[in-house]
Amino acid sequence: MSNTSIDWIHSRLKFGIKPGVTRIVYLLKQLGNPQNKLKTVHVAGTNGKGSTVTFLSNILQQYGLRVGTFTSPYIEVFNERIAINGRFISDDELDRVVAIIKPLVLEMDMDSELVNITEFEILTAIGFLYFQQEAVDIAVIEVGLGGLYDSTNVITPLVSAIVTIGMDHQDILGDTLTKISGEKAGIIKPNVPVIVGNQVGVPDDAFQVIEAKAKSVNAPIFRPLPDSHEKFDLSLHGQYQQENAALALKVFDILAPKLALVPDHDKVAAGLKQAFWPARMEALNGFILDGAHNIPAIKRLITEFDGSKKVNILFSALQRKDFPEMIELLKTIPNMALSLTTFDYPKTIRQTDVAGISDVTWCPDWRIFLSQERASDEIYLVTGSLYFMSQVRAYLLTNH
């Protein structure tokens, strides 16, 4: 790991989340606006962004294209957030790009209006510059948070996509689905087609916010219906992945003529099958890992289990106000046994946080759950924070 560069990028975490594009616009201008030299697709949504990005990227790779992907957070290594055709940016490449950007950031820190640019903003600039330097054919860019004020929202993509809308980051995006929809609709650009995914439990007025924004800027809007497609042959499990695949395919259909690609069923099928995204209903060494880290994701997860087999669940999350509701939802899975735990990360839940919750077991060390004897006819599910998934996944890969 390129400790010096990554440590410097992480050092900007202390500046937190600062919505707005003033700082990123300035930094990119100093770099020659690399984002304007790229063909891009922009993907927003509460859940399913990463899976949709990887489905689309793999389809495009079947056509021999160099496809850049910008995603977050990471599950295995920091470098995976910036990749070309699935190959993560190397430590040396990261060092090279950081060497260009760091002096500009230090200069910005001397300006009261540009000071304290955040980790994600810097990472966004690294991604755009790297993709431009490497001359990718197209870059598929995942929104970090929301859309309107996200640092990735400086591109004019060929196609935009809004995968899902759900209650998440209410402190920043708003406390209703309608307000959150307005933030996500912020990625819609004039005359740029936008594809909107299946919105489970989202009221009509929330979708109407997106529809109104698209209409106001003459952006064609499409909605692939979840039941209007064949069952795709996927390596990624879960009904929601079928919906993400349908959305990615619709993005590709709109994108193909813009890239002079001829739709080919075999290439599309191969791309969808090849797509892999860790900790999304991933079967690994006898466990299922799923990074269901907010209410909408938990609601989708619980529909995957019908009670025919006992489900032993290990859950951990950050100390956000919605974790008790997430736990209560998990308890609705029929024939389940729920254990709660903590892990090594700032502001994770502790035993005192869940002391008043009934019908759960506290597991002081999550490794105990992983090392227990398992029944062959039962399911063992580990879920919750993506940061938790990252640690569990690394442990399973090295200790089983």
pLDDT digits (tens, 9 = 90+) for 210-264: 899 999 999 999 988 655 556 889 888 877 788 889 999 999 999 999 999 999 9
Instruction: Quick: pLDDT tens for 32-47.
Output: 999 999 999 999 987 8
pLDDT value of position 202: 62
pTM of the model: 0.86
**Highest mean predicted confidence (pLDDT) among 48-52, 101-105, 206-210:** 101-105
pLDDT value of position 200: 58
Residue 99 has pLDDT above 90, yes or no: yes
Spatial contact of 101 and 126, defined as CB atoms under 8 Å apart: yes
Question: Mean pLDDT over residues 22-28, rounded?
Answer: 96
User: φ and ψ at 47, to 5 degrees?
Assistant: -135, 155
Question: Mean pLDDT over residues 2-16, rounded?
Answer: 84
Average pLDDT, the chain: 90
Instruction: Quick: pLDDT tens for 331-369.
Output: 999 999 999 999 998 889 999 999 989 999 999 999 999
Domain 3-274 adopts which CATH fold?
A: UDP-N-acetylmuramoyl-L-alanine:D-glutamate ligase (3.40.1190)
Residue 100 has pLDDT above 60, yes or no: yes
CATH fit for domain 282-399, picks 3.40.50.300, 3.90.190.20, 3.40.50.720, 3.40.50.2300: 3.90.190.20
Please indicate whether residue 211 or residue 66 has the higher confidence score (pLDDT): 66
Domain residue limits, the chain: 3-274, 282-399
pLDDT value of position 82: 97
Question: Mean pLDDT over residues 162-172, rounded?
Answer: 64
